Structure formats: structure tokens, C-alpha cells
Amino acid sequence: MTKSNSSASDALLEKFDLDEAKLASRIKDAAMQSGHYPYDEKLSRKTYEKELRLLQIELVKVQAWANDSGARLVLVFEGRDAAGKGGSINAIRAYMNPRSVKIAALPKPTERESGQWYFQRYIQHLPTEGETVLFDRSWYNRAGVEPVMGFCTPEQHQTFLQEAPKFEQMLVDEGIHLFKFWLNIGREMQMKRFHDRRHDPLKQWKLSPMDIASLDKWGDYTNKRNLMLKTTHTITTPWTIVRSNDKRRARLNTIRHVLSNLDYDGKDKDAIGKIDPLILGQGPEFLRLHEAMDFDD
């Protein structure tokens, strides 16, 4: 981030009180269009639910196809805290048999795992024939959370950025269908969602001390995100960016992307519909084009 953007970000944080019962109007009013988001309102619930049902029917077909063909799918969901990773995963998995569609949301490493090859604990969660695994955060913890919060050394971070493309290429060469999603939100939207979690008794469990600690590290996370995208976005293992201020549009376009890139039995292209190019795109260039973020080359 530039110094001017960093100063503006700091000033915004000073006006944010997570414990205040009422969210500051300046943050609330700016949330939806923060991060240069292209829409000023959510997609209507009626439209969302209608389109989601059609897409979920297609996902059920995908599961049947995977079971019959032995296809293996890995969907990696990354993004800042409160970007909507869990909600996207739940929308995908809602009507699929959990016996062969699994969620991997790993806690912090044990002492034993900390002494292993970094990717080792993730390998055991990879799918067997006919399975789909959805990673709610993944090995990319070492590209964002760990270096920002000081949980790894600069050398470990650099080694990861060099090894991750090689590791993922091995998965693709093995025949695994790999999808990597970065769910991108604006700062005011993150603040709004944090505030919602703090004051909703049904969502309070979602707000962790780590979330709160990240509030003043927006710029650090941005820089690490940019470096991650620059070094681990490849032709065969690309990052798909999903602009997620509106969770409904984000979920629909995420599912459309998966369905559009699989050749499964009974595929209904009309039901899948078209991806919104303002919401979903590929790699760091998509953010440069649509979000006007600062990338350090």
C-alpha cells in the first residue's frame, strides 16, 4: 500500500469501535462499495435463492459423476477474516452427500506437526477417488496469516512461496481437479462483518482474538496477499479472485466457475448461467484492473 492509502486506512480504524453497539454510519454506508466494489446493493434474496437452487442441482450431478468416474476435486478457499469462506463452502456442500464431500478446516499445528514438512499435515486430507475436499483455509496460511502475525520466519515464508507451485503442480499432474479461490472484500465491509459478529449472539463464536489482532494489519495482509498472488498464480494452478462484498453474488459466481470447468454427465449450461466478469476473474491482474489496489512489483 502507498503511504497515503495507509494513512487513510489508519484514520478509518481510529473511528471504528468494535464494542460500540451501533456501527458508525460512515463505515456502514461505505461497506458495500468498499474496495471499489461494482454494486451498491446486494443481489435480491429471491433471485439468489432461485439461481442457487439450479446451481446446487448441478453440484449434485457433479458428485454423482465424481463417484462414478473416480474424479477427485480440491477446492481451496482463502481470503481475509470475514471474507465469506465458510458461507461459500456451505452453499456448495448443502445438498451433497457428506460422505464424499468433506471440509478440511485445520486448527493450529500440533507440536509434532510443527516439526514436519510444512505440507505434510494437509496431504492426509486430500481426496481419494470420488471425493471432493473443501479447504476452509489451507496451506496458504503460510503466505498470509503466519508471516503477518509472526508465526513463521521470513525464510520459511520465502521457501513456501517457492514450493507451493511445485506442490500444486504435483496435485494437478496426479489428476486432481484443483480450484483456488481468493475471496476479496473491502476494509469497511470487513469492519461491518466483525461488528455484526461481535453483537450477534449466534455469530460471536466466529470472532476470534486473531481477527481482532488483524484489524490494524490491513496493509500488511494486503502486501502479503499481493506477493502470494504474484508468485503462486500459474497457468495450470491459477488463483480465481471473487469479489465478495455481496456474499450472494460471490457464492453464485464461485459455483458457476467450478461447474463451468468440469465435464460431468448431464451438464446443463443454461442452468449454470454466465459468470459476472465484474465479480470473478483470474489472478493479480483482475485486482489491478477492478480494484485499483497497489501492487509492489
Residues 6 or more apart whose Cβ sits within 8 Å of residue 225 = 144, 182
149 DSSP β-pair partners: none
- Residue-wise pLDDT for 111-140, tens only, equals 999 999 999 999 999 999 999 999 999 999
Per residue in 23-49, is it b (16+ CB within 10 Å) or e — as a string?
bbeebeebbbbbbebeeeeebeeeebe
Domain-by-domain residue ranges, the chain? 3-291
Q: Which amino acid is at 161?
A: L
Q: Check residue 295 and give its pLDDT.
A: 47
Q: Check residue 292 and give its pLDDT.
A: 63
- Residue-wise pLDDT for 237-259, tens only, equals 999 999 999 999 999 999 999 99
Q: Cα(194)–Cα(190) distance, rounded to whole angstroms? A: 6
- Residue-wise pLDDT for 169-220, tens only, equals 999 999 999 999 999 999 999 999 999 999 999 999 989 888 888 889 999 9
Q: Check residue 210 and give its pLDDT.
A: 85
Following CA atoms 251, 43, 221, 135 in sequence, which dihedral angle do they give, to the nearest 10 degrees? -10
Strand positions, DSSP E, 199-284: 239-243, 280-282
* Locus of grid cell 499435515: 121
| Cβ(220)–Cβ(148) below 8 Å | yes
- 3-291 CATH: 3.40.50.300
